[in-house]
Structure 1
Amino acid sequence: IQVNMTTLSNLTSKSPAFLLTALPGFQAAHGWISIPFCGLYAVALSGNSMILSIVITQHSLHEPMYYLLSILSATDLGLTVSTMSTTLGVLWFDAIEITLDACIIQMFFLHGFTATESGVLVAMAFDRYVAVCNPLRYTTILTNYRIIQMGLLMILRTVVLLLPLLLLLKLLSFYPVNVLSHSYCYHPDVIKLAHSDTQANSIYGLVGLVLTTGIDIPCIILSYILIIHSVLNIASPEERYKVFSTCVSHIGAVAVFYIPMIILSFVHRYGRSFPKVVHSVMANVYLILSPMLNPIIYSVKTKQIRKSILSLLLTR
């Protein structure tokens, strides 16, 4: 029996099946649960598409700040689409099975867009630092060529760090059927289901995390320390408020991206005793909150974006 089980494990580990989970315990209500999900996805897709469209078409928005905002919107669109298909597939059609190769492809886009968005937020923090601390050199420092360089650097960093991490999954052995905690493939969720040594995966994953989030968050914090120091040197309280208000949208984008990410990481690491539905809810909040709220934040707090959107809607 032991030999047969070992043989079966070796055969099936080459093409294991993974079962997606939407909200554990609420399978009977998937149809109703899909309604708010569809609403959230619609807001995320329409909001980011609108911002991307107006930045491309409105010549008055052809500035470094808005170029970076358009990259952020494109990243949010990619992040939304990368999980929407499997999430709605589970809720609408009970399509819960996914292969390892499909899982790896989804993780590449999911984690890739996440790492890229983190890099975009760093670039936007640098943009705000230059605008506040070196306003006279803003146009000479943040040229179109420099924006393209930063965009290519973000993509290169993502691909170089992510490809080896995901290809290492192909070397692991999995049981024939593996139940995931979410409605999409998430690397920490997949890795804990392996029944072979995952030390190399964990080490490389930690290195990748340090070289992305571990560098990006301190860079953003440092940028705002320098910004606050510069703002405090302004004598007029009105001028202080006016200058600092230009950073409010970016601070909001940073908060809605990193706070759910940190909470989800803690839930995965220390919340194993939590109900599975908590893991699923936090995972969905983490991925949908930022794409949904970023267009709203920038539409409300950025005058030029708000005017352009209103002009576009009134014209239509």
Structure 2
Amino acid sequence: MKTGNQTVETDFTLLGLFQYGPMDSFLFIAIAILFSVALMGNITLILFIRLDPRLHTPVYFLLSQLSFIDMMYISTTVPKMAVNFLSNSKTITFLGCEIQTFVFTVLGGTEVLLLGFMSYDRYVAICHPLRYPVLMSKRICCFVVMCVWASCSVNSLIHTVYVFQLPFCPSRLINHFFCEVPSLLPLVCQHTSQYEHTILLSSLIILLLPFTAIVASYACVLSVVFQMSSGKGQTKAISTCSSHLLVASLFYMTTLSTYTMPHSIHSPEQDKVVAVFYTMITPLLNPFIYSLRNKDVIGALRRLIGLCIFVQKI
């Protein structure tokens, strides 16, 4: 078969978040701004943590990992979607789709587990402060983070390899704005019900267990906070916990709805809207939620600004 025909037959076409039309330029600008803000927010937070020695602690090491994941997470899907608004070709190669699926699944699973470990860090810091240096030592943090990356990479590799060896139908129209396992299964020309049960089991383990740990951790934290004599301390702790829990819930709930609910009870259009929350909104909110409400990060920002002003005066 000729090379040209092979390209046509093996490429996928992304139908996008919206129907392409006269609003493409406006949507491109809006998504580009959102992407830039999210990218700069996460990069800035990583730089603050890297440059300020006072932030070289377990909690900020985990926070820098979260920012790195969010930075890569939004970079995996959004640029291709934005370019498609201005491009005549909405295709993505078979290999490109495979790589996007693998990377996206790795990053999504890593963020899920990391958020759970971050809630455990706050639980230890508030409920067991004297044991914090032992339970959250640098060695333990690095070991846990390495295990999270490794386990999610293996999980993603298994799912990606399995899905892309399945026989796809001649129509390669992906009713989504990026490649992920649930959006690819409708294109498979054989029954996938057994494999969907495997996805359900895998998703419940990876998503529900960390989310349960987050809820339990913050419940213990709040129980300790309510025993404080300082009303100001209670208000601050409740405000911080609620904002963190809100962002985590937004990420977990939207991801759960995509990977655990039967496809018969939700449409591709609903899936695309839900995907916006865990691919764009969460990476945008995380650096601001975890930094603007954090006095240590604000202090690092003030010191950095003060240093810049001092250098300019020299």
TM-score bracket for this pair, using the shorter chain length? 0.7 to 0.9
Matched, 1:283 2:275: yes
Contact 2:218 2:241 in 1 (8 A): no
Q: Secondary structure at the match of 2:23?
A: helix
Aligned partner of 1:208 in structure 2 is 202
Aligned partner of 1:292 in structure 2 is 284
**Structure 1, 190-199 or 231-240: larger mean CA deviation:** 231-240
Aligned pair partner of 1:192 in 174, 181, 186: 186
Supply the distance in 2 between the matched residues of 1:127 and 1:94 (Cα, whole angstroms): 48
Contact 1:267 1:279 in 2 (8 A): no
How much has 1:267 moved relative to structure 2? Answer: 9.2
**Structure 1, 115-124 or 161-170: larger mean CA deviation:** 161-170
TM alignment of 1:296-311, pairs within 5 A: 296-311=288-303
TM-score, normalised by the number of residues in structure 2? 0.87
Write the letter of the residue equivalent to 2:227: N
Aligned partner of 1:270 in structure 2 is 265
Matched, 1:38 2:32: yes
Contact 1:64 1:142 in 2 (8 A): yes
Write the letter of the residue equivalent to 1:296: F
Closer, same or farther in 2 for the Cα pair 1:268/1:198, shift >3 Å? closer
Contact 1:41 1:84 in 2 (8 A): yes
**Structure 1, 258-267 or 16-25: larger mean CA deviation:** 258-267
Cα deviation code 1:140-193 (max 9, x no counterpart): 221111110110111122022221111111331112232112221021010121
**Any stretches of 5+ residues in structure 2 without a counterpart?**
310-314
Aligned partner of 1:138 in structure 2 is 132
Contact 1:191 1:198 in 2 (8 A): yes
Contact 1:249 1:302 in 2 (8 A): no
Supply the distance in 1 between the matched residues of 2:229 and 2:298 (Cα, whole angstroms): 30
Write the letter of the residue equivalent to 1:92: L
How much has 1:52 moved relative to structure 2? Answer: 0.5
**Structure 1, 238-247 or 36-45: larger mean CA deviation:** 238-247
Closer, same or farther in 2 for the Cα pair 1:64/1:248, shift >3 Å? farther
**Structure 1, 120-129 or 295-304: larger mean CA deviation:** 295-304
Supply the distance in 2 between the matched residues of 1:236 and 1:307 (Cα, whole angstroms): 23
Contact 1:31 1:91 in 2 (8 A): yes
Aligned partner of 2:312 in structure 1 is none
Closer, same or farther in 2 for the Cα pair 1:84/1:133, shift >3 Å? same
Matched, 1:113 2:104: no
Aligned partner of 1:27 in structure 2 is 21
Closer, same or farther in 2 for the Cα pair 1:149/1:32, shift >3 Å? same
Contact 1:165 1:204 in 2 (8 A): no
Write the letter of the residue equivalent to 2:12: F
Aligned partner of 1:7 in structure 2 is none
Cα deviation code 1:88-143 (max 9, x no counterpart): 22112233112332212101111111111111101110011001110122122211
Aligned-pair Cα RMSD in Å: 2.5
Closer, same or farther in 2 for the Cα pair 1:15/1:202, shift >3 Å? farther
Supply the distance in 1 between the matched residues of 2:21 and 2:278 (Cα, whole angstroms): 21
How much has 1:236 moved relative to structure 2? Answer: 4.4
Cα deviation code 1:246-300 (max 9, x no counterpart): 534532431342243345555955222xxx5544333223310011111111232
**Structure 1, 126-135 or 193-202: larger mean CA deviation:** 193-202
Write the letter of the residue equivalent to 1:307: G
Contact 2:127 2:221 in 1 (8 A): yes
**Any stretches of 5+ residues in structure 1 without a counterpart?**
1-10
Contact 2:123 2:220 in 1 (8 A): yes
**Structure 1, 118-127 or 298-307: larger mean CA deviation:** 298-307
Cα deviation code 1:216-270 (max 9, x no counterpart): 1111122122223323333443443344455345324313422433455559552
Contact 2:207 2:256 in 1 (8 A): no
Q: Secondary structure at the match of 1:28?
A: coil
TM-score, normalised by the number of residues in structure 1? 0.87
**Structure 1, 146-155 or 209-218: larger mean CA deviation:** 209-218
Q: Number of aligned pairs?
A: 303
